[in-house]
């Protein structure tokens, strides 16, 4: 087995931002030498060389992996559409090479679809850490001061190890750094202005781009937005409330759907019973009697079912947990496939917690919005993973300062458990008059592909920059008949 792992910052800062109007362009446009991708020769791959430290452009560089699929209708081509699938840590190269059907035929006809692995991710000088050390990670739910001290110590050792193995790039993987890479990519593609689609953490890259390069924006479609102005308490309470709201939608669907494995039951009582059994140590992973399933792990299992969403599978999983029967074969994760959510998120968000009493107080405050779900497991994991992060961080939270841009489209599901609808509304308010909101009146993380309505609205915006000033609302499509 390998003795190190690639750190993919998953799913998800005190240097002042330079106003977009005074940001200087690179002295000469960078270039990309394209060749057929090894994994799929119908796509093209290449690399883009950028400075590790954009404030020292003559210093060390990193090669960013890039992939594209050319517009299928060249005569109708608008330009390049740069895409980021979020994470953070998701590969934009894989997204383009292996996910060619994600976008509609109309969009693929009009744009070269271009993806890239952000610095520190995938094929772009990935952050590398000790697998043995990663396996020492404490439990994400902190129960006392000793747990908190253990996390601070672990995070310090992990940072030191990752930095030693990765080099100077480790400290420069924030969305602010990536936004500058995106502008270099835009120039290398020969586009005067950027057309961009980013989902989840990819919205932070788009937001940072709009702040620094407002005059270079053609169209930004930001799907399932992070609010880059929240503090620790707001981050916890908002994510908890959105997770609870997504669970409510699951309950409503299951109560009305005969094919649901929990149909006919008092689902909330059933869920509370599972949590109580988990608290007593009576549950285990389905089909794995030697692997205990605590309350945190139970909530995390539910969160995974709410994410896409996949309500039918979630109900089946909960039945398997209840009965102890097998659900599906579990496979051990190899060392080289372990993923850790640390560098990018912790360079984009400073979510300090001084000590355990403050942590316990924050948990109590978010309990009311969390309701049946208790908490957002990704939020607790991210807060724990950033404890002790040195400050200032590269890209601290702040209210967006976006100068004049063309309209920017912000999309969100009403019941997104990961990046909630309130975050998109808050981001729109910060952007101001040029923000347009696309509301999908359903569940799940990520709006594009949820329905013909959401696909059409985003396509029209990217192709023609057309979107009503008062935004767009798209009705819910039940998960069982969603097109993706």
Locate 331 and state its tokens. 């496979």
pLDDT in the model for residue 262: 98
Question: What does the DSSP assignment read for 328-394?
Answer: S---PPPGGG-----HHHHHH------SHHHHHHHHHHHHHHHGGG-S-HHHHHHHHHTTT--SS-S
Q: Kindly list the domain boundaries of the chain, sorted by start residue.
A: 1-241+329-484, 242-323
Residues 61/52, Cβ–Cβ less than 8 Å: yes
d(CA 449, CA 433): 27
- Does residue 44 contact residue 375 with C-beta atoms inside 8 Å? no
- How much is the pLDDT for 341? 53
Report CA-CA distances (Å) from 404 to 21, 131, 175, 210, 255: 10, 46, 21, 9, 48
Question: Is the link from the previous residue into 54 a cis peptide, with omega within 30 of 0?
Answer: no
Count of Cβ atoms closer than 10 Å to residue 41 Cβ: 10
Beta strand 217-223 pairing with 194-199 = parallel
Q: Which residues contact 217 (CB under 8 A, 6 or more apart)?
A: 193, 194, 209, 210, 405, 406, 408
Closest CA to 212 of 5, 479, 24: 24
Q: If DSSP codes are grouped into helix, strand and coil, which group holds residue 219?
A: strand
Spatial separation of the C-alpha atoms in residues 283 and 236, rounded to whole Å = 27
The CA distance from 233 to 367, in Å, is 12
List the structure tokens of 28.
């000469």
Tens of pLDDT along the chain (484 residues) come to: 444 444 443 333 222 223 333 444 445 778 999 999 999 999 999 999 999 999 998 999 999 999 999 999 999 999 999 999 998 889 999 999 998 789 999 999 999 999 999 999 999 999 999 999 999 999 999 999 999 999 999 999 999 999 999 999 999 999 999 999 999 999 999 999 999 999 999 999 999 999 999 999 999 999 999 999 999 999 999 999 999 999 999 999 999 999 999 999 999 999 999 999 999 999 999 888 889 999 999 999 999 999 999 999 999 999 999 998 877 644 444 443 334 457 899 999 999 999 999 999 999 999 999 999 999 999 999 999 999 999 999 999 999 999 889 999 999 999 999 999 999 999 999 999 999 999 999 999 999 999 999 999 999 999 999 988 888 999 999 765 444 4
Give the helix/strand (H/E) hosting 288. Answer: strand 288-292
Structure tokens at 9: 């910052």
The reply to whether CATH 1.10.10.10 applies to domain 1-241+329-484 is no
Q: What residues form DSSP beta bridges with 83?
A: 115, 197
Name the pTM for this structure.
Answer: 0.91
Nearest partner of 245 among 445, 425, 368, 417, judged by Cα: 417
Give CA–CA dist 419/12, Å, rounded.
7
Contact present, 81 and 75 (Cβ < 8 Å): no
Comparing C-alpha atoms, which of 127, 90, 94 is closest to residue 6?
A: 127
374 torsion bin: left (phi>0), alpha (psi -120 to 50), beta (else): left
- Distance (Å, whole) CA 93 – CA 126: 13
**Cis amide bond preceding 94, omega within 30:** no
């Amino acid at each position: 087995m390998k003795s190190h792992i690639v750190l993919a910052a998953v799913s998800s800062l005190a240097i002042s931002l330079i106003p977009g109007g005074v940001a200087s362009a690179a002295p000469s446009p960078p270039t990309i030498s394209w060749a057929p991708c090894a994994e799929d020769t119908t796509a093209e791959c290449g690399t883009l060389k950028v400075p590790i430290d954009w404030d020292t452009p003559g210093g060390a560089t990193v090669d960013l992996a890039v992939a594209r699929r050319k517009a299928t209708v060249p005569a109708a081509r608008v330009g390049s559409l740069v895409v980021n699938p979020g994470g953070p840590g998701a590969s934009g190269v894989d997204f383009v090479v292996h996910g060619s059907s994600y976008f509609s035929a109309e969009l693929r006809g009009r744009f070269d679809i271009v993806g890239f692995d952000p610095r520190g991710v995938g094929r772009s000088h990935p952050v590398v850490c000790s697998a043995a050390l990663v396996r020492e990670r404490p439990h994400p739910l902190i129960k006392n001061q000793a747990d908190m001290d253990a996390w601070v110590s672990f995070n310090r050792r992990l940072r030191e190890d990752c930095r030693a193995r990765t080099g100077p790039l480790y400290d420069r993987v924030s969305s602010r750094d990536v936004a500058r890479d995106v502008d270099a990519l835009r120039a290398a593609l020969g586009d005067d202005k950027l057309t961009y689609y980013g989902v989840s953490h990819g919205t932070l890259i788009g937001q940072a781009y709009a702040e620094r390069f407002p005059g270079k924006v053609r169209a930004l479609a930001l799907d399932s937005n992070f609010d880059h102005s929240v503090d620790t308490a707001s981050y916890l309470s908002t994510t908890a409330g959105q997770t609870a709201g997504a669970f409510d939608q699951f309950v409503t669907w299951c109560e009305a759907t005969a094919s649901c494995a929990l149909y006919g039951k008092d689902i909330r009582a059933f869920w509370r019973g599972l949590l109580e059994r988990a608290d007593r140590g009576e549950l285990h992973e389905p089909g794995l009697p030697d692997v205990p399933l605590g309350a945190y792990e139970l909530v995390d299992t539910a969160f995974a079912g709410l994410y896409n969403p996949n309500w039918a599978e979630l109900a089946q999983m909960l039945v398997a947990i209840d009965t102890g029967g097998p659900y599906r074969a579990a496979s051990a994760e190899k060392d080289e496939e372990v993923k850790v959510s640390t560098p990018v998120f912790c360079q984009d968000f400073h979510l300090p917690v001084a000590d355990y009493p403050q942590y316990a107080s924050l948990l109590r405050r978010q309990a009311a919005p969390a309701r049946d779900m208790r908490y957002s497991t990704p939020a607790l994991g991210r807060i724990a993973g950033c404890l002790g992060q040195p400050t200032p961080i590269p890209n601290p939270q702040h209210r967006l300062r976006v100068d004049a841009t063309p309209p920017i489209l912000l999309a969100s599901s009403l019941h997104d458990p990961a990046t909630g609808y309130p975050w998109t509304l808050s981001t729109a308010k910060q952007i101001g008059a040029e923000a347009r909101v696309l509301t999908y009146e359903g569940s799940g993380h990520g709006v594009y592909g949820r329905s013909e309505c959401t696909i059409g609205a985003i396509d029209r915006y990217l192709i023609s920059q057309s979107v009503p000033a008062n935004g767009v609302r798209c009705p819910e499509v039940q998960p069982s008949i969603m097109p993706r």
